[in-house]
């Protein structure tokens, strides 16, 4: 052991079974995957890194699907995927089904994009509180939401910048079952 270089010693320590036993387990799969595909080790997964991850798992995403994946997983619309966002997606058993939208599902998604844009009066890619209230009223009118459904601006605004961007809207729609209602995602099955 005394002949080992410090680098080799480090490896020995990392592989020591004692370390695995200590604390009761290894890292969750989601953490291992996240670290593996965060190739530049920025602590965030970029859209390009996400595409590699999906492809390695046997799912090649088209540009449109990748665009959707970025919208769905990057819930605060920061442009990159944090570990919290990644693990939330990973825990969903339908994670890949929810990414591989058909052309028909993508065209239904376009309806949401159009709706968002029609309330984004200043073309900023985000809605302020007043614009968001107007959108909410329209959703009620179209029977996509009900009056009593959660409309908590501050919670929907995950990035806490006082505006709702498209990703934040999609994350909220996801939680409220609107994506199913609009046919973007398949209806939840009771098993
Ligand atoms: Ca993010
Ligand atoms: Ca925001």
CA distance 35 to 29: 10
pLDDT in tens, 62-115: 999 999 999 999 999 999 999 999 999 999 999 999 999 999 999 999 999 999
Say what the pTM is: 0.82
Q: Please check whether residues 95 and 115 belong to one and the same domain.
A: no
Q: What is the pLDDT of residue 150?
A: 79
Give me the domain span that covers residue 80. 26-101
Is 189 within a domain?
no
CA 30 to ligand 1 center in whole angstroms = 16
- Number of the ligand closest to the Cα of 82: 1
Is 188 within a domain?
no
Burial 22-37 (b: 16+ CB within 10 A, else e): eeeeeeeeeeebbeeb
Share of the chain above pLDDT 90, in %: 80
In this structure, what are the phi and psi dihedrals at residue 4, rounded to the nearest 5 degrees?
A: -70, 140
Q: Please check whether residues 74 and 110 belong to one and the same domain.
A: no
Q: Please check whether residues 53 and 113 belong to one and the same domain.
A: no
Query: Of 41, 70, 101, which closes a domain?
Result: 101
Q: Please check whether residues 108 and 138 belong to one and the same domain.
A: yes
Stretch 39-49: mean pLDDT, rounded?
94
**Please, where are the H alpha helices in the chain?**
6-15, 17-21, 29-37, 47-56, 63-73, 83-90, 103-119, 129-141, 153-156, 166-176, 178-181
Q: What is the pLDDT of residue 133?
A: 95
Say if residue 170 is exposed, middle or buried (CB neighbours under 10 Å; 0-12, 13-18, 19+): buried
CA 80 to ligand 1 center in whole angstroms = 5
Q: Please check whether residues 158 and 148 belong to one and the same domain.
A: yes
CA 64 to ligand 2 center in whole angstroms = 23
Q: What is the pLDDT of residue 59?
A: 96
- Number of the ligand closest to the Cα of 158: 2
Neighbours of ion ligand 1 (CB under 5 A): 74, 76, 78, 82
Q: Please check whether residues 76 and 115 belong to one and the same domain.
A: no
Task: Give me the number of domains the chain comprises.
Answer: 2
Residue 30 confidence (pLDDT) above 70: yes
Q: Please check whether residues 88 and 115 belong to one and the same domain.
A: no
- Number of the ligand closest to the Cα of 165: 2
Q: How many Cα atoms sit within 13 Å of 143 on the Cβ side?
A: 0
């Amino acid at each position: 052991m005394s002949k080992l270089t410090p680098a080799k010693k480090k490896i020995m320590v990392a592989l020591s079974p004692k370390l695995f036993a200590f604390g009761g387990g290894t890292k969750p799969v989601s953490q291992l995957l996240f670290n593996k595909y965060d190739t530049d080790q920025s602590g965030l997964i970029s859209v390009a890194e996400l595409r590699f991850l999906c492809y390695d798992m046997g799912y090649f995403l088209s540009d449109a699907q990748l665009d959707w994946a970025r919208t769905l997983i990057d819930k605060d619309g920061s442009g990159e995927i944090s570990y919290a966002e990644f693990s939330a997606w990973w825990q969903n058993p339908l994670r890949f089904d929810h990414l591989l939208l058909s052309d028909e599902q993508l065209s239904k998604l376009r309806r949401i994009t159009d709706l968002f844009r029609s309330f984004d009066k200043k073309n900023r890619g985000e809605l302020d509180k007043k614009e968001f209230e107007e959108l909410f009223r329209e959703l009620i009118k179209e029977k996509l939401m009900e009056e009593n459904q959660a409309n908590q601006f501050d919670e929907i605004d995950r990035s806490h910048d006082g505006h709702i961007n498209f990703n934040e809207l999609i994350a909220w729609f996801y939680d409220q079952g609107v994506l199913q209602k609009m046919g973007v995602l398949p209806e939840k099955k009771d098993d």
